Amino acid sequence: MNPEMIKVACSNCNLRELCMPVGLDHSEMVKLDHVVSTRKRVKQGGHLFSHGDPFTTLYAIRTGYFKT
């Protein structure tokens, strides 16, 4: 099993209370789960995105941190 291809589901995430808008009902969470993509691992010193990249993605950092 490739851990980078594991589907992420917001409804099952332990951090959902911290990053999800308050008040989403079950049907809204199901819709959101369909939008959320797979995990992306970034090695130390790597880039999540670069200056000039088009804004097409919203990231939620589950562990670690990023410098700007």
Say what the pTM is.
Answer: 0.42
**Measuring CA to CA, which residue among 42, 52, 54, 50 is closest to residue 68?**
50
Please tell me the total count of domains within the chain. Answer: 1
Using alpha carbons, select from 44, 37, 43 the residue that is nearest to residue 59: 37
Burial of 29 (0-12, 13-18, 19+ CB in 10 A): middle
**Domain span including residue 54:** 1-68
Q: In a structure prediction context, what are the per-residue pLDDT tens digits for the chain, which is 68 residues long?
A: 454 445 566 666 776 666 666 677 878 877 877 777 667 788 888 888 889 999 888 777 777 888 77
Give the C-alpha separation, 45 to 36, whole Å: 25
**36: nearest Cα among 54, 19, 22, 52:** 19
